[in-house]
Amino acid sequence: MKYNVSVFCNVRVAVRDIEAESHEEAMKKADEFDFHAVIDRGDVEYTETVEGYLVDEAGDTEYENSVWYDHEYRPL
């Protein structure tokens, strides 16, 4: 049998040189950053933390047999 597995993991994206009056304002401005641009360039760092998995059976176009798992391979 063949499976398609999506691994949901944390990455660190450094958003640098944000001009802001406070930490909160800096975080809000960081949220406006185009994360897809850095992912496409490869400017990300994998934190080695897996949050979970989604396992789909290949060919199951209705996703009837898809299952979510936590980071310890337990079904959710």
**Tell me, what's the pLDDT at 67?**
97
* Local structure of residue 66 (DSSP, 8 states): -
Q: Residue 21, SS3?
A: coil
pTM for the model stands at 0.69
Asked whether 55 and 8 are in contact (CB, 8 A), the reply is no
**Tell me, what's the pLDDT at 14?**
82
Q: What is the pLDDT along the chain (76 residues), one digit of tens a residue?
A: 999 999 999 888 888 899 999 999 999 999 998 888 777 776 677 788 999 999 999 999 999 999 999 999 999 9
Q: Are strands 45-57 and 67-70 parallel, antiparallel or unpaired?
A: antiparallel
**Tell me, what's the pLDDT at 11?**
82
